[in-house]
Structure 1
């Protein structure tokens, strides 16, 4: 059977879908009815402040409502937010707002679909196994951090008394951890098992030791049985929305799970995928990690969201929004600027349209989506719909597998941040960090250059100093961290923030 209802169960006020089982059923029945939905990427301008969202989720929800109003079968795939940051009020909610919101936003903002807790428990159990391995003489140190949904500076670096040795550990946010990345990138439980087995637990006599060498993997995969199932909810206007996978494209991959997106594409004609933070973070990682290295579908169109104040009120940073739009257009992705208005900004619409025309953008989409929802967008989508209907399915992009890591980062800096390769600077200590990462990978039997690069950076800046002149901007590389199970290598940039603290609200 390939009816999605056979793979769907009730989970409180939302539904959970066995996406792995459904995709396996489609694979086993190639003649079964299915759709081949086109992907639209919703990304954003680099925000003036990391703590203030530009409105990607609100736009995504309003957009599917508008498309469905026009008779187009559209759905959205959103990321499960981090409770410790989003729900604590450090940024906008991850379920839209006003007329562009979900029916049960509290279930999303407070992590009640269950995946975060299951992934946290599983990764923390892995660390406990690693601690036991130290007691048994299998490991000398631990390289996998514990995780928590609530950030704490006091837990960023801790020391555990392990008898003979004091073992250094750290705690990171759940959505940034390697196990979350594995869930996001895998398309079956077997793949998750293989990737968990390849996670580097620590080292023994300077050589990498993977979890597959000393634990029974069923203990972890059983814990993740519910976490791998996307949640299905809907907008207040009845449009379908799937929620699955972690946020934070500045310190992780920031994309929804590939299985949830693939499932949605088999069920709907248009699938809106939201990628985290600005286009320099979320869009870059969807294109260069999910698509180039993991076979996700290249977008048929893109929406770049901004606020009127972000776009126009800071001349030193005004270059960033046109850069994002132009970059995506140069990748042959029809890209539509969208200005998400605050209350009291309606009188700015004529001036915003004039500025967009001067910048040679496509006709901008402008509206107060909190107030008006999809009703504000539906009349403005003629060009957007024409681009979707008239465009063909894009080809698979060229992989960067095998490209030397530093060369790969220089390519990202030039393409995504506008900084040429010669102005990518290696900070003192980076070379030794790269050497250590290379040696770790060699001892684990994997190649560092075959891993996809995750740029770990500030969400509010694209370069070391975005206010510097175009010919003066640089990007500085700080350190390297290997996530062998996920097939990723993190490269920290100078301005990176790995565990942001929530503000008090």
Structure 2
């Protein structure tokens, strides 16, 4: 594909009702939205929010971002003022196994190189703020420990936005007394940092600072929590993040505005674009299309129970993305991926039905988007649509944004606009109330969303849960960290298991983010690299252009 001709960023802003002074350019093709414009946009009447989620992922990828981009391009073709709010890709997947996160084919955010690499430095700001707090913790221990921190209770790790399994468990302070006390710690990938969750969920700068101050780093000798505010770290952390709080403006290949903000990783964190970006977009557009990480069991459930619970946002409709290839794999097809296998599609549609059930629990109408591959047959596409409608989808539409851009998603856009218009109410329906104990919240997610029969806790998780309840964190919602390759905790149990026991090995209190994380199975917060990485194919040519991305 030839290098696209991008619309001037000022022209893009004008379409959103933004003056040149409202934009803070980062080069020619990217800008941040200034605070005055953010305040004006948030004061306007809100448009309709549409959530894009998907069935259980497979190695081929289902294309949530591609569908989201194609949908906003198609809505704009229909005369609807539409904006997408997407997450910034993490460098971990870009250089690891998954690759880029800017869409595909004719449904992409551009400039893709900027979006997938440094963009405006938001991820680096999050990493710096996170690691500043880690440095201040160790510095406090080294200079007398006035707070009486128990070194063995310190739970604040370090962060890096590159997959590196060697950093999952590390020992610091080995250089002698001058280099700080020796203790065990760990690294998490930046997208899984609590600071990233704070950035994504904070409503404004004041909320950002308050959340940063509530971050728990460990416990004092009397058992009380020690926070970032206790370490006087909050102001400096907020200073590093204040520009990162502003959403980034990019565009699709067809020139539709896109706000890119906050990080991915819906399997271990909240995995959605920021509250600030969504609120701004809702004040600038009639329809805002946003996405949440991985399947409805992860990104969508967290979108409702974490993001919507804290922000007051609520979608008018959801789009559930499926592919023929994914359903054939879920249906254990023994044929080649390009060979027709309608029977396997129908078997694999059980996974589609399970995700429709999850979304039905939140009483949001669902349009199923079948992301079409060139080798899909009419019989296979019909089988997916028939299964979706039989399970209560408001509509089921084959979409071709990868090959055709917005033109290939016009039928999907029409189905979404009809569904949004028919929406009678947007009353939030959450999975559990705040007052429920943490164990009951985890059980609600495991049994009602994943299909588990019961929850099992390690001794460490039980102790951590008791501590969280005792310290007043029991009213927080729960963010489950688990595999994205199954509705369960174990990819080997397949895409649609039921009746299994769901093992929780660890609980982490993320008071700044406003949730408690329950880590299940073998899930890691610092991914590893595959044997052959995407990094090996990326280079720079003689003219300084990035190639192989």
Instruction: Please indicate, yes or no, whether the TM-score normalized by the shorter chain is above 0.5.
Output: yes
Partner of 1:154: 166
Shift of 1:338: 1.3
Please say if residues 481 and 489 of structure 1, whose CA atoms lie closer than 8 Å, have aligned partners that are also in contact.
yes
Partner of 1:82: 90
Does residue 248 (structure 1) correspond to residue 258 (structure 2)? The answer is: no
Does residue 55 (structure 1) correspond to residue 71 (structure 2)? The answer is: no
Please say if residues 295 and 396 of structure 1, whose CA atoms lie closer than 8 Å, have aligned partners that are also in contact.
no
Unaligned runs of 5+ in 2: 1-15, 333-347, 535-549
Shift of 1:380: 4.3
Q: In 2, Cα distance between the equivalents of 1:8 and 1:22?
A: 8
Q: In 2, Cα distance between the equivalents of 1:157 and 1:275?
A: 29
Partner of 2:508: 481
Name the CA shift for 1:402/1:137 in 2 (closer, same or farther; >3 Å). Answer: farther
Does residue 337 (structure 1) correspond to residue 337 (structure 2)? The answer is: no
Deviation digits for residues 38-96 of structure 1, max 9, x if unmatched?
100000111134xx4310000000000011111111110000111121x1152152111
Name the CA shift for 1:329/1:397 in 2 (closer, same or farther; >3 Å). Answer: closer
SS in 2 for 1:277: strand
Of 297-306 and 392-401, deviating more is 392-401
After TM superposition, list the pairs within 5 Å mapping 1:159-178 onto structure 2: 159-161=171-173, 163=177, 165-178=181-194
Shift of 1:223: 1.2
Partner of 2:337: none
Shift of 1:236: 0.7
After TM superposition, list the pairs within 5 Å mapping 1:383-462 onto structure 2: 383-392=415-424, 394-397=426-429, 400-420=433-453, 423-438=454-469, 442=471, 447-462=472-487
SS in 2 for 1:228: coil
Q: In 2, Cα distance between the equivalents of 1:276 and 1:165?
A: 38
Give the one of 21, 28, 39 matched to 2:49. 39
Please say if residues 167 and 526 of structure 2, whose CA atoms lie closer than 8 Å, have aligned partners that are also in contact.
no
Deviation digits for residues 91-134 of structure 1, max 9, x if unmatched?
15211111101220111111322100011011111111111100
Name the CA shift for 1:488/1:69 in 2 (closer, same or farther; >3 Å). Answer: same
Q: In 1, Cα distance between the equivalents of 2:396 and 2:218?
A: 51
Q: In 1, Cα distance between the equivalents of 2:418 and 2:88?
A: 31
Please say if residues 20 and 189 of structure 1, whose CA atoms lie closer than 8 Å, have aligned partners that are also in contact.
no
Please say if residues 41 and 281 of structure 2, whose CA atoms lie closer than 8 Å, have aligned partners that are also in contact.
no
Q: In 1, Cα distance between the equivalents of 2:487 and 2:468?
A: 25
Of 97-106 and 199-208, deviating more is 199-208
Please say if residues 41 and 280 of structure 2, whose CA atoms lie closer than 8 Å, have aligned partners that are also in contact.
no
Q: In 2, Cα distance between the equivalents of 1:238 and 1:279?
A: 29
Deviation digits for residues 397-418 of structure 1, max 9, x if unmatched?
4572221001001111233213
Q: In 2, Cα distance between the equivalents of 1:471 and 1:344?
A: 32
After TM superposition, list the pairs within 5 Å mapping 1:40-439 onto structure 2: 40-49=50-59, 52-85=60-93, 87-138=94-145, 139-141=149-151, 142-161=154-173, 163=177, 165-205=181-221, 206-215=223-232, 217-292=234-309, 294-315=310-331, 318-347=349-378, 348-392=380-424, 394-397=426-429, 400-420=433-453, 423-438=454-469
Partner of 2:343: none
SS in 2 for 1:303: strand
Please say if residues 247 and 254 of structure 1, whose CA atoms lie closer than 8 Å, have aligned partners that are also in contact.
yes
Q: In 1, Cα distance between the equivalents of 2:287 and 2:488?
A: 34
Name the CA shift for 1:395/1:144 in 2 (closer, same or farther; >3 Å). Answer: same
What is the TM-score with the length of structure 2 in the denominator?
0.83
Partner of 1:7: 22
Shift of 1:495: 4.1
Please say if residues 217 and 226 of structure 2, whose CA atoms lie closer than 8 Å, have aligned partners that are also in contact.
yes
Q: In 2, Cα distance between the equivalents of 1:183 and 1:291?
A: 15
Q: In 2, Cα distance between the equivalents of 1:103 and 1:165?
A: 47
Unaligned runs of 5+ in 1: none
Give the one of 9, 31, 42 matched to 1:16. 31
SS in 2 for 1:310: helix
